[in-house]
Amino acid sequence: MKHFQQEVEAAVEALLLQQVILYPTDTVWGLGCDAESPRAVERIYQLKQRPASKSCIVLVADEAMFARYAAAVPANLSELLAAQQRPTTYVVPASRYVAANLLAEDGTVGLRIVRDDEFCFKVLRRFGHGLVSTSANVSGQPTPGIYKEIEPVIVRGADHVVGLRQDDETRAAPSRVVRVLPNGQLEVLRD
């Protein structure tokens, strides 16, 4: 348990310094940074060789943190969360706290409440800001299902690599992505 807590603290320290971390998420391995730091977000785009027009997901710890980053919180958010069967990202209008270069062209952001991943949850709680989450690959390349499939250029490019679950062979799928419509209904963007 001491090693786990040290990994949480090391990740939070890197995030406070506006650095990029390579970390295991509640889905696939991801690259992350402070969702409120345009400079750190830009570093992720450079590392992934990804156009800035492609937005990234933001992980949050709970409904209160969701509300910080959403300009409009769905009235039925609690019900949506209770009904979800797997990690789900909700695309909603972004608040002013989201780094501008994280926004989609229509001013939205994808937010996912981390429910079943102790590491991400503890980092989010300790850090207090949303955490960018984008797959740990060069743009256009396949999403690595496990740590050993991450390309060396990505590992070397991260400021901090989390030393947990690197030997895990369990493959997880990316999150489901849904747009929350004004009437509270969901439009599935990725299933």
Mean pLDDT of each 10-residue bin along the chain, 191 residues long: 90 98 95 97 95 88 97 91 92 97 95 94 97 95 92 97 94 89 88 87
Sequence ranges of the domains in the chain: 2-190
Pick from 50, 86, 74: nearest CA to 177: 86
Instruction: Report the top-level CATH class of 2-190.
Output: alpha beta
Pick from 135, 138, 96, 89: nearest CA to 114: 89
pLDDT at 1: 62
Contact criterion met (CB below 8 Å) for 110 and 91 = yes
Helix and strand numbers (H, E) in the chain are 6, 9
pLDDT at 52: 75
pLDDT at 55: 83
Q: With 0-12 CB in 10 A as exposed, 13-18 as middle and 19+ as buried, what is 8?
A: buried
Record the tokens describing residue 133, joined without a space: 């989450």
